[in-house]
Amino acid sequence: MTWNPDPSTNERELEGHLRRNAALEAEFRKRGADFDSLRELEVHFWAPNRRTAALLGRELYRKDFLVIALGPSAGRGTEVWNVEAQKEGSIREGLSEEFTRSLIELASSSSSTYDGWGTSI
């Protein structure tokens, strides 16, 4: 994987995701979620075209994610593709900087955008 040649781009993106994760953490705590039990973590990406989406899906699969959606995005134009995948993990893992950074790197290496994660509680 290649980190974006402009480190400030990835660092700004990481900062934004970490702020969002802090808000998610507060919501999970408010709801009394167990931060260590295993559950399905769902991740979301935007890819610029079909080929890139397919390559991103392949890389996610290699990282033990199950691709659950891969297709053109309704309302975002025909050249924007939605990629969604899930894997078993904990809320603590999903909130971690390491998890977030790895997904930003993966997206960056495929000219895509990591759009965040979620889980049911």
Tens of pLDDT, residue by residue over 11-55, are: 999 999 999 999 999 999 999 999 999 999 999 999 999 999 999
| Residues whose CB is less than 8 angstroms from the CB of residue 96 and which lie 6 or more positions away in sequence, other chains included | none
* Rounded Cα distance, 86 and 118, in Å: 9
Averaged pLDDT for residues 49-76: 93
Rg of the chain (C-alpha set): 14
Its pTM stands at 0.89
